Structure 1
Amino acid sequence: MEFSREQKLGVLLAMGAFFLWGIFPVYLKAVAILPPLELVAHRIVWSWLFVLAMILVLKQLPKLKAHARNPRMMLALTASTLLLAFNWYLFVYAVNTNRVLEASLAYYINPLLNMALGGIFLSERLRPLQWLAVTLAVTGVAVEIAVFGSVPWLALGMAASFALYGLIRKLAPIDSLNGMMIETSMMLIPAGLYIALWGEATFNLLTEEHWALLALFGPISAVPLMMFASAARKIQYTTLGFLQYIGPTLMFLLAVWVYHEPFGQAKMVTFGFIWAGVACFSAYALLRRR
């Protein structure tokens, strides 16, 4: 199967986004002196400042105003904003509480959810191997719940929120930069109020190095998200799901080999089923390529 120039660009953007997300826990560990909710608030404020600067430099204000006057667009972006805020909080919470393995599991499940949503809502026809991949992932989570009595709520919450976010952003006819501007603007006032009212007590804990790292929250958060949103509009959602395995693989390696998180029997079984699903989808992709 030959990719067009636009599709090749989409693949490169997606790979870059997922690589940056895969190593994102390293950055969050460096600023883990702050509690999760405060970190999310900082993430929103610094992201808004960074995206605003890009809007002004690229002279996107007229375009932004046109989107803001579209009621259907604003409704869609309100939904995507809520999903994004929820996802950001769960991810930061997972890293701050030494559960990077749970985040890795979430983003192994997420591409399989992307495939299912693509088949259900976008009329992207799924082949038997793809449906088998989705079934294996569901089975893995079900076994963990039924046999081990462990509900991976953190992983399921992250996976579902980001899959639905990606679906909305794929369907919404807005570019990644302006979409990100509206989303962060919707979250800005609550985030700013939280920092002003409850963040003051932790300010004394922050060194100059911490403030420098927090200032990087803008580009570190916004750039991969805009890359992802742009890629979602250029390539099939099923292809996007396949490329997304880059991120969780990097997180898994960090969790097990760098942060030495426990990899118990329940997680072994769940990951085993999901990796089998990944193998099925990879086999389908290779067959289709041939």
Structure 2
Amino acid sequence: MKEQKKGILFGFIAYIFWGIIPIYWKLLPTVDPLDILCYRIVWSFVFMILYILITRRWSLFLAEVNVVLQDKKKLFAIICAAMLISVNWFTFIYTVSQGHVTQASLGYYINPLVNVLLATLILKEKLSRSGMISCGLALFGVLLLTIQTGEIPYAPLIMAVTFSFYGLIKKGITVSSYTGLTIETVVIMPIAVIYLVFFSRQGFMHYELSTNLLLMGAGIVTAIPLLLFAQAAKQISYIILGFIQYIGPTIMLLSALFLYHEPYSAEQFIAFGFIWLAIAVFTYGNIYTYRKEKRFAK
């Protein structure tokens, strides 16, 4: 239970980070979304290497890398994770840069539904009655939002599916979170460097000092929540992790409304109301189950 509490805490902090991260990308209006993605990859790698050196885990890191290189299945899984998170990052950055923070939040509202689906179908995790009710309410809210926009929300769906499968892979890989994330950045970093040096219209780090510093900081704001998420994924069920995720898009939605004044109708509010109700039902169900288990344990 102690590990589960720690996992829930890590999940909460990670999703709070992701909830406020659109504000960070909004500070880079002059940088192309694909460039931001590549800088995010490069500086994440630099940050991870510094993190491993400062925490004196270099020898452990090399030992784990050696194990991964000898295990083709594990290496393939990490490569797949790297590709999935890259697609997720680009879709998210592009959506936010186009002024659609509400759409970005919808992607991460859909994400927990995909998490629950994967958890029940692949991981064979049991869904409680409150969980089933929550899924039904959340699904209804998402369908209402889709109907209101009158089109299939491709960007939110891409974000939801890629991140759910990324999380599923991270849950199954038996390497430390820092090793897994560092290898992921190594896999995609050569492509990012080649693009920035040879193909970027803006050139490599050809910005004013404040923009360059923000691009360097992108590595930190990327790596920290991913480290926390990877740890949380190992310590709690994928269903619980999925519903904790609603923290992120809720913060995104609030920033879209009150910071960026994106249009928001009464119909959208009703649709999101079903999603918020789903979170409340799921939270109550988990608290009830926890108290019940605690009583039986005495």
| TM-score, structure 1 normalization | 0.91
2-structure distance, mates of 1:260, 1:148: 18
Q: 1:33 aligns with which of 30, 33, 36?
A: 30
Cα gap change, 1:16/1:45 in structure 2, threshold over 3 Å: closer, same or farther?
A: same
Bigger shift: residues 212-221 or 262-271: 262-271
Q: Which residue of 2 aligns with 1:62?
A: 63
Which residue identity does 1:264 align to in structure 2?
Answer: S
| TM-score, structure 2 normalization | 0.89
Contact 2:257 2:264 in 1 (8 A): yes
1-structure distance, mates of 2:164, 2:84: 9
Q: Which residue of 1 aligns with 2:296?
A: none
Matches of residues 114-193 of structure 1 in structure 2 within 5 Å? 114-146=115-147, 148-193=149-194
Which residue identity does 1:25 align to in structure 2?
Answer: P
2-structure distance, mates of 1:269, 1:150: 18
Q: Which residue of 1 aligns with 2:104?
A: 103
1-structure distance, mates of 2:144, 2:220: 39
Post-superposition CA distance 1:111-158 (Å, at most 9, x none): 232222212222211022212222333333334445652222211111
Which residue identity does 2:99 align to in structure 1?
Answer: N
Contact 2:33 2:94 in 1 (8 A): yes
Q: 1:21 aligns with which of 18, 22, 28?
A: 18
The alignment-based identity, stated in percent, is 36
Matches of residues 252-271 of structure 1 in structure 2 within 5 Å? 252-264=253-265, 267-271=268-272
2-structure distance, mates of 1:120, 1:273: 24
Matches of residues 35-54 of structure 1 in structure 2 within 5 Å? 35-54=32-51
Post-superposition CA distance 1:62-89 (Å, at most 9, x none): 2222222210101111211111011000
Q: 1:232 offset after TM fit, Å?
A: 0.6
Q: 1:11 aligns with which of 4, 8, 12?
A: 8
Q: 1:110 offset after TM fit, Å?
A: 1.6
Cα gap change, 1:71/1:245 in structure 2, threshold over 3 Å: closer, same or farther?
A: same
2-structure distance, mates of 1:207, 1:66: 42
Which residue identity does 1:253 align to in structure 2?
Answer: L
Q: 1:269 offset after TM fit, Å?
A: 4.7
Q: Which residue of 1 aligns with 2:273?
A: 272
Structure 2 regions of 5+ residues with no counterpart?
Answer: 292-298
1-structure distance, mates of 2:144, 2:259: 28
Are 1:209 and 2:210 an aligned pair?
yes
2-structure distance, mates of 1:104, 1:212: 26
2-structure distance, mates of 1:213, 1:207: 10
2-structure distance, mates of 1:245, 1:127: 18
2-structure distance, mates of 1:224, 1:62: 24
Q: 1:287 offset after TM fit, Å?
A: 2.5
Which residue identity does 2:57 align to in structure 1?
Answer: L
Contact 1:139 1:273 in 2 (8 A): yes
Contact 1:50 1:218 in 2 (8 A): yes
Structure 1 regions of 5+ residues with no counterpart?
Answer: none
SS in 2 for 1:77: helix
Bigger shift: residues 58-67 or 156-165: 58-67
SS in 2 for 1:201: coil
Bigger shift: residues 53-62 or 24-33: 53-62
1-structure distance, mates of 2:75, 2:236: 24
Bigger shift: residues 184-193 or 136-145: 136-145
